[in-house]
Amino acid sequence: MKNSPLAGLKVIDFSRIIAGPLCTQQLADLGARVIKIEHPVTGDDGRSLSKAADDRGAFFQAYNRSKESIALDLTQQAAIDIVHQLLEGADILVENFRPGVMKRLGLDYETLSEKYPRLIYLSVSAYGQTGMMADRPGMDPVLQAEFGMMSMTGEPDGPPVRTPQSLIDTMTAMNATTAVLAAVLTRQQTGCGERIELSLMATAVSALGNLGLAYLNSGHVTRRAGNQHPDAAPVNLFRTATQPIYAALATQKLFVTFCKEVLRKPEWVEDARFATPAARSRNRQVFYTMIDEVMMEQPAEYWLERMRSLPSGAVRSIDEALDSPEVAEQELIMSVPDDSKETVRMFRLPMKFSRTQVTTPTSAPHLGEQGPAILAELGYGPAEIEQLIDRGVLRPYVRPENAE
């Protein structure tokens, strides 16, 4: 879309899996043109991480919409030459290979910045570009384990537990997008590109937030507390006659409202065991048993209506959440045209602008789907493109004969 904020910017995307692809997808949503360079045999590793019949299952669709794919064998010089032609008009390069890979290809920042001084070059790694762990591969759940998150998740008497959603990858992508946009603004002032380094480790450490600072400044180590808050109450999962409800009522005001107006137990406000935040924290197990006894007398719907002004909600499965009327009302899910079926459902951008225009998304590309068209745009003729295909430099997408 011509009026989108990043319209006119071109991104060359070497990244795979989540952190890099989600960053470049966000740039595409804001109007940038994203050309995804993939391995000619496997493509982005995310293509194989779902059960779809083709190479664009839910995993790949989630992080690669609105992109173009070209499949190049980067071990051949002809493919590297094509990359340089793409970089001639590029603004941003994103890669998340292990440190050293891009240098071996002759595509490291030091080499490219001499030829393309306006290029913004983002490198995403697991543990940083240098240092004692730089050579190690890393995945989101491994970082959750290594940098404190898993130690705080799970029941107090149970083992550490990871979250199934890739939170570190997702937060790294958000940080990456922020960094790229900052570099774009800086380039408008200086005319110069720059190198951005970002790691899953740096994101994981910074994401510890207040819990991390509690240790750094007072030596307090947060332990597993299950669904409870280790220092505040009532914050917990409470049983009802039907489904459980989660409530986060940590402040004194919320506690008083909950006891008096919801549970109709005003005497609990004056009970010395619960009257202050510190007392509630010390006696929270007794308190939670008392709350459960009251709430199990009525179904969840009854309590949710009474707790409408308090931070609380029913525990839902993923299908219940996505099929809920409030998700539909807020138009958080959209349908995008797709060549393998009529439409594919995707999430909208979570933010809404009063003026800024975002792009209308397209479905994620097949492996190499736009490769020949991209080369034609660079000036390659049909015979030259066929020669590159014959030599294995380029892999084109061939539409199945039984495709509609």
Q: Do residue 120 and residue 162 come from a single domain?
A: yes
The separation between CA 178 and the C-alpha centre of its own chain, rounded to angstroms, equals: 13
* Same domain (yes/no): 96, 24: yes
Asked whether residue 359 is domain-assigned, the answer is yes
> Has residue 230 been placed in a domain?
no
Question: How many other CB atoms are there within 10 angstroms of residue 8's CB atom?
Answer: 11
Average predicted confidence (pLDDT) for the chain:
96
pLDDT for 402 beyond 90: no
Domain presence at residue 216: no
Which CATH number is 249's domain given? 3.30.1540.10
pLDDT tens per residue, range 131-142: 999 999 999 999
Residue 401 has what pLDDT? 62
318 in the same domain as 341: no
Residues 138 and 71 in one domain: yes
50 pLDDT above the threshold of 70:
yes
Residue 4, domain member (yes or no): no
- Domain closes at, from 275, 299, 322: 322
Does residue 163 belong to any structural domain of this protein?
A: yes
What pLDDT score was predicted for residue 189? 98
Same structural domain for residues 72 and 200?
yes
Residue 312, phi then psi, degrees to nearest 5: -160, 155
Q: Does 252 map to a domain?
A: yes
Q: Respond yes or no: is residue 229 known to be catalytic.
A: yes
Q: How many domains does the chain have?
A: 2
Could you tell me if 134 and 246 lie in one domain? no
The contacts found for 55-58 with CB under 8 angstroms, 24 or more apart, are: 55/366, 55/367, 56/340, 56/363, 56/364, 56/365, 56/366
Looking at the structure, tell me whether residues 254 and 300 fall in a common domain.
yes
Residues contacting residue 244 through CB under 8 Å, at least 6 positions apart: 237, 238, 300, 314, 315
CATH of residue 35's domain is 3.40.50.10540
- Bridge partners for 346 per DSSP: 334
The mean pLDDT value for 354-378 works out to: 96
Domain membership flag for residue 73? yes
Give the pLDDT confidence score for residue 53 in this predicted structure.
67
pLDDT tens digit sequence for 219-242? 999 999 999 998 899 999 999 999
Quick one: pLDDT band at residue 371, thresholds 50, 70, 90?
very high
What is the domain extent for residue 196?
10-207+332-395
3-state secondary structure of 45: helix
Tell whether pTM > 0.85.
yes
In a shared domain, residues 140 and 252: no
Whether residue 171 sits in one domain with residue 258: no
Domain C-terminal end among 322, 352, 367: 322
Give yes or no: residues 315 and 188 share one domain. Answer: no
Q: Are residues 193 and 268 in the same domain?
A: no
Out of 39, 84, 229, 366, which one is annotated catalytic? Answer: 229
Residue 256 pLDDT class (50, 70, 90 cuts) = very high
Q: Is 225 part of any domain?
A: no
Counting runs of H as helices and runs of E as strands, what totals does the chain give? 18, 12
265-306 pLDDT, tens digit each: 999 999 999 999 999 999 999 999 999 999 999 999 999 999
Residue that terminates a domain, selected from 274, 291, 322: 322
Tell me: pLDDT of 357 over 60: yes
pLDDT of residue 3: 83
